[in-house]
Structure 1
């Protein structure tokens, strides 16, 4: 389960920003909206959280930061020697930040053990890396590394808690690779749970990794999961009686282009293609529709159905940028309430999402105050992340009206639109 995420000097997130899933001491909806952890530092973790902010405020960058951290963990061990990190973007609107490292840190709980892992990096190399493990209330530093400024070599420190071939892992870790990633590649059982959380328990959807039908299609091929998805879809369209996947042979064209020779080659092969069929039943008749015939909302709900059912079943963490795209507010509420139901979500599943749908703020019993976050763009174009709890809202406060009136900030700056319209 995700406890906390820290980020510094990534895109518009110039200064250190801290996002937390730790529940406050408020007892309201605690039994349904949070998990008990039995840990003194974080007695309860929230099952869901929502982030609001104007367009270009930086809320998408928060999700991209977690996604980028995941990518470095997953891919750095396979980078060729000397290869840099091309997609790393520090804050560029002041010269001092542009030359500073970007810093990531995540705290998670796995099987009752708290892991606090982070690293800093430039586009050329990993600058520092550290893992603290809390098997008791006191942390154990399993490893730490930093680059020596004079020699440009990595200096390592290991704690007794990390077992295995540490010297081998250290020797194999290049400047552009994470020690965590390389050690797991070389069969570190102790570090495998942390790596696997990034690899298999953190699921992120945004413009870089958009929702696609493939996950849900594979689930539709299995009878038990097909029935579950059909029930899920009926929440949006009660006329949907069944969904099937029909395979047909189709000619698939592939175009390859050799940059060295400039040669373009096109091939065509017959392959099996999956087609999704929606069976609708009404009192006046029946019909079967292709996926393309359905509304964008129905398609998006299908694309979400598989991942959400998988996330809840396996206790994963789901992160979605702009969940409200093509989905009705009441349907979004239904999705979030699934995570809050103890009879459905009993394995530690969490969801974090951004949205512009302010109606969710006043939806009865949907959110506790500590589940609501805001991102605001400052005058210097850096982003500031902060929780609603900073404003100490009353329990009966009209949150949507307060937000739209500017009480909590994080609104678009519209004052100059009138000037633009006069030209």
Structure 2
């Protein structure tokens, strides 16, 4: 399919968490018609086109560094969104240098993201040291050439130099009185200025949808409902209930009820703040409808009594359906936890079907479940590996292997160890010596 959309092209980072050397992750598709539904073609204003993947999977053993790709995206997005609220002492979330080398502690952390917004392609990069932001740079692609938009560089004395290039789109924005702390981004500041040509750029990076285990832990059913199902008659709600129906879980419908504050009664001894937290966490009541043995009557079960797999699908599917509806980006760490492999493949396949993904939404996920790449569901350029050697993580693609074609039988090769990125266990005897 050919559309204009906001999509990630490439990500590079260095000296971040378990990565000492530069890691590169790409969503560029190889020139192949194999499983073409997994590819979206983006047309740009400079006359060029990009073929971008709609999904990509990162495999690897525990503690291999696969999650840190997601964390790099999350920290960058958080910083673009929130940096104007940082005070002078706030620690920059991207500044977590590689920890197993004294040398790396003094080296800067670097990150670069290449992405499209509308019909333009941008490259945004940061270099961050212990003293704060050293370099912040945004460039605009003009075919294969990069036109500088702005570059903000910090001198050793703590002062900053701001350089504007031919790609600067904001001639009416006054920069003479620009006052930013050394941990605040110019791109965040530009997001607050009207009609400057860069608000959409900042908004895209600030609103990447990223789910890490920490975020999932604090994202209860009520929060999901408030974000996605405030109107239970919406298309998103209908698609959610239909997904639950076709997932072979025995579910025929999903019933949501939103409670008003007046529905809750507390003893007078309960503090008001405690009451408020309890109400917000329990404002929504969730029940799933099952057919009884006689196939006529229904049995209504609260979500709390459902299986862990059903609860996992309940947590994941609203995010999946939202980004598909709106053509957004979703990164999800350990997405397949508690979900049956066949159901997991179904969820991923939604991004490869023009009917379910007409706007070119993108999904990047980490998983241990290699079966998602079986049955011709993933191309080789969608498959990535994280592997740790002597404490340092390395990120590589299935395409890096000379004998790998676009339709390689990935699962068998991976489980046989041909790609590496498998856990290497010690002797059981060692535990009991």
TM-score normalised by the chain length of structure 1: 0.90
**Equivalent in 23, 26, 33 of residue 29 of structure 2:** 23
- After TM superposition, list the pairs within 5 Å mapping 1:193-342 onto structure 2: 193-200=200-207, 202-210=208-216, 211-214=219-222, 216-218=224-226, 219-220=228-229, 221-224=231-234, 225-237=236-248, 239-248=250-259, 249-251=263-265, 267-268=274-275, 271=279, 273-284=283-294, 285-342=297-354
- Corresponding residue for residue 120 of structure 1: 127
Q: Is the 8 A contact 1:254 1:266 kept in 2?
A: no
Looking at structure 1, the residues matched to 204 and 53 of structure 2 have their Cα atoms a distance apart, in angstroms, of: 18
Q: Is the 8 A contact 1:251 1:268 kept in 2?
A: no
Looking at structure 1, the residues matched to 268 and 166 of structure 2 have their Cα atoms a distance apart, in angstroms, of: 53
Question: Do residues 146 (structure 1) and 153 (structure 2) align?
Answer: yes
Q: Is the 8 A contact 1:58 1:376 kept in 2?
A: yes
Q: Is the 8 A contact 1:255 1:265 kept in 2?
A: no
Gap change, CA 1:33 and 1:396, over 3 Å in 2: closer
Please identify, of 210-219 and 404-413, the stretch whose mean Cα deviation from structure 2 is larger: 210-219
Question: Do residues 57 (structure 1) and 68 (structure 2) align?
Answer: no
Looking at structure 1, the residues matched to 225 and 194 of structure 2 have their Cα atoms a distance apart, in angstroms, of: 33
Looking at structure 2, the residues matched to 252 and 182 of structure 1 have their Cα atoms a distance apart, in angstroms, of: 44
Looking at structure 1, the residues matched to 408 and 94 of structure 2 have their Cα atoms a distance apart, in angstroms, of: 42
Question: Do residues 409 (structure 1) and 420 (structure 2) align?
Answer: yes
Deviation for aligned residue 1:355: 0.5
Looking at structure 1, the residues matched to 58 and 410 of structure 2 have their Cα atoms a distance apart, in angstroms, of: 14
Looking at structure 2, the residues matched to 413 and 255 of structure 1 have their Cα atoms a distance apart, in angstroms, of: 55
Where does the alignment leave 5 or more consecutive residues of structure 2 unmatched? 1-6
**Equivalent in 66, 69, 73 of residue 66 of structure 1:** 73
**Equivalent in 396, 399, 408 of residue 410 of structure 2:** 399
Looking at structure 2, the residues matched to 226 and 216 of structure 1 have their Cα atoms a distance apart, in angstroms, of: 12
Q: Is the 8 A contact 1:164 1:188 kept in 2?
A: no
**Equivalent in 382, 388, 410 of residue 377 of structure 1:** 388
Looking at structure 2, the residues matched to 54 and 383 of structure 1 have their Cα atoms a distance apart, in angstroms, of: 11
- Corresponding residue for residue 259 of structure 1: none
TM-score normalised by the chain length of structure 2: 0.88
Q: Is the 8 A contact 1:373 1:387 kept in 2?
A: yes
Q: What SS is found at the alignment partner of 2:242?
A: helix
Deviating above 6 A after TM superposition, structure 1's stretches of 4 or more consecutive aligned residues are: 252-256
Looking at structure 1, the residues matched to 268 and 243 of structure 2 have their Cα atoms a distance apart, in angstroms, of: 35
Looking at structure 2, the residues matched to 310 and 255 of structure 1 have their Cα atoms a distance apart, in angstroms, of: 41
Looking at structure 2, the residues matched to 208 and 16 of structure 1 have their Cα atoms a distance apart, in angstroms, of: 25
Q: Deviations over 1:97-138 (max 9, x none)?
A: 111111111111111210100111124311101001125443
Deviation for aligned residue 1:417: 2.3
**Equivalent in 21, 29, 35 of residue 40 of structure 2:** 35
Looking at structure 1, the residues matched to 171 and 301 of structure 2 have their Cα atoms a distance apart, in angstroms, of: 56
- Corresponding residue for residue 4 of structure 2: none
**Equivalent in 389, 405, 413 of residue 399 of structure 2:** 389
- Corresponding residue for residue 360 of structure 1: 372
Q: Is the 8 A contact 2:291 2:299 kept in 1?
A: yes
Deviation for aligned residue 1:398: 3.4
Question: Do residues 45 (structure 1) and 52 (structure 2) align?
Answer: yes
Where does the alignment leave 5 or more consecutive residues of structure 1 unmatched? 257-263
Q: Is the 8 A contact 2:76 2:94 kept in 1?
A: no
